[in-house]
Amino acid sequence: MPVYEYECSACEKVFEVQQRIADQPLTHCPECKGEVKKLMSMSSFQLKGGGWYADGYSSASSCKERKTAAPAAAPCSAGGCCAGCSSSS
């Protein structure tokens, strides 16, 4: 269940609430009953490791390696490498 962050305009307290996506947002502070607004907080989602960009598209050397590997279907006439390709700009 997602965790949402709210801030009260009356007491300025910031608090978190676990709610279903289908639930209506809170409108009042549980402590002082003042109006609250939903905050946009940082996501805990992180991409770690080499990833697809670092492994397959970051340098010309990886491009040369992919050309010699004979891909099943090249997406463009350059053989799937975007460096210097007129269709990538």
Within a domain: 18: yes
Q: How confident is the model at residue 13 (pLDDT cuts 50, 70, 90)?
A: very high
Within a domain: 61: no
Within a domain: 56: no
* pLDDT (0 to 100) of residue 34: 94
Within a domain: 22: yes
Residue 64 confidence (pLDDT) above 60? no
Within a domain: 24: yes
Q: The tokens of 34 are what? A: 């003042």
Within a domain: 25: yes
Residues in Cβ contact with 48 at an 8 Å cutoff, skipping those fewer than 6 apart: none
Domain encompassing residue 25: 3-39
Q: Specify whether the backbone of 77 is left (phi greater than 0), alpha (psi in -120 to 50) or beta.
A: alpha
Within a domain: 35: yes
* pLDDT (0 to 100) of residue 30: 92
| Tally of domains within the chain | 1
Given CA atoms 9, 11, 12, 14 in this order, what sign does their dihedral have? Answer: negative
Within a domain: 89: no
Q: Please, where are the H alpha helices in 1-89?
A: 51-56, 60-68
Q: Using one digit for the tens of pLDDT, what is the confidence trace for 17-61?
A: 999 989 999 999 999 999 999 998 777 777 776 666 655 555 555
